Amino acid sequence: MRKRFNKTVNKIVTGALVATMAFSFVPAFGSALAPVTVHAAETGTVDPATCPHENTKDICDKASTCIAKGHWREVCQDCGTVVDEWDSPKLGHRFDEEHYKITKKPTCTEDGEKVYYCTLNFCNHTGTKTVTLPATGHDDGVLKVTKEPTCAEPGLKETVCSKCGTVLEGKPTETVPATGQHTWDNGKITLAPTTTKEGVKTFTCTVCKATKTEAVAKLPAKPKNDTKKPATSKPKAGTKVTVGGNQYTVTKVGSEVRFSKAKASIKALSIPATIKYKGVTYKVTAISANAVKGNKKIKSATIGANVKSVAAKAFNNCPKLKTVTIKSTKLTKKTASKKSFSKVNKKMVIKVPKKVKKAYAKIFKGYKVK
């Protein structure tokens, strides 16, 4: 009975010893340790039936690990009989404060996580234990500007957590005074200046829409001489002027002239309603005697709308003159006649405005008027 008790105690001690050895020889984190296996010695040839089994030895068939039991046999060294066998307990994972990794850092408001790894070499760090890292909570905070002041409105300082920037309720706050410094635009002329009055330029703040004004200097006065047109010397009555190669005689200063001489050898003459001489416009109101004289080449002539009189022999000795166009409606029997055309082509035709055709047919009797 005492012997059997002693064997039982030895088994427990042996299992504990193996476990202790496994922990005692754990190297640094990350190394490996293979399970220990104890091999049986050569057995004797004693007959198992008569052998007292006093020379026995404990043999480990399978070492315990973190998660699995081991297996042991008590074998007689004389006859080879397995006297007893048993399982050694699981070793369980072993964790310490040197072998871990923080997988999620805690914040002011959220928990984090810390994972421990088994330090036993044969576990190969597959065994883990996750521990919650409590949220750190906000600190006492610092005053920080959370609303910038403008030219018209004050700003605000609030107490915020220095770690996460959260505004902390119930903590001190401060008002930041308005800057009073407007941001003006480029301004706009709201009242134009004159030579007698200053103008007004209005500026608007781009932030608060406040306005300010400033005076705009008067415009410089124009020199008195600039307001007067330079005096022009207008030709006196009787003065002869030449325009476009034709000669005219002033009959009324600054307003009327008489066609007095045509350009030599002209083939188609046009006496205009007006001419312009030195910036002054004159009406052509009359045609002088012999204005077109001895021209053997002229074939046509046009008389302008302002002509009131055509002197006798105005067209004199112009044998090829066949067509005369009169645009004026102001001729009368006293201011024109068939004698205005002397020694011209016998078949000459006079074209006139429709409304004076009958009257002009009488004035220029002897010529075909149409």
pLDDT tens-digit profile of 293-316? 999 999 999 999 999 999 999 999
- Across the range 212-238, mean pLDDT stands at 78
Of 74, 82, 80, nearest in space to 38 by CA: 74
pTM of the model as a whole: 0.41
Residue with tokens 């030709």: 235
Query: Would you state the pLDDT for residue 4?
Result: 42
Distance in angstroms (rounded) separating the CA atoms of residues 350 and 174: 106
- Output the CA–CA distances (angstroms, integers) from residue 253 to 256, 274, 280, 329, in the order listed: 7, 14, 10, 24
Query: Residue 227, Cβ neighbours under 10 Å: how many?
Result: 7
At a CB cut-off of 8 Å and minimum separation 6, what does 357 contact?
A: 369, 370
Query: Would you state the pLDDT for residue 227?
Result: 55
| Core vs surface per residue 99-116: b (16+ CB within 10 A) or e | bbeeeeebeeeeebebeb
Query: Would you state the pLDDT for residue 231?
Result: 55
At a CB cut-off of 8 Å and minimum separation 6, what does 120 contact?
A: 22, 23, 26, 33, 65, 66, 91, 93, 94, 127
347: its two tokens: 């078949």
Helical (H) or strand (E) element with 361: helix 357-363
Looking at every residue in the chain, the average pLDDT score rounds to: 85
The phi, psi pair for 287, rounded to 5°, reads: -125, 125
List, for residues 157-187, the tens digit of each pLDDT value. Answer: 999 999 999 999 988 999 999 888 899 999 9
Strand order in the sheet with 56-62: 56-62, 70-76, 82-88
- Fold topology of 240-369: 3.80.10
**pLDDT tier at 21 (50, 70, 90 boundaries)?**
very low
Query: Would you state the pLDDT for residue 306?
Result: 95
At a CB cut-off of 8 Å and minimum separation 6, what does 104 contact?
A: 111, 112, 113, 133
Query: Would you state the pLDDT for residue 98?
Result: 82
92/26: higher pLDDT: 92
Task: Please state the domain extents for the chain.
Answer: 2-88, 100-133, 138-147+156-176, 240-369
179: its two tokens: 């800057």
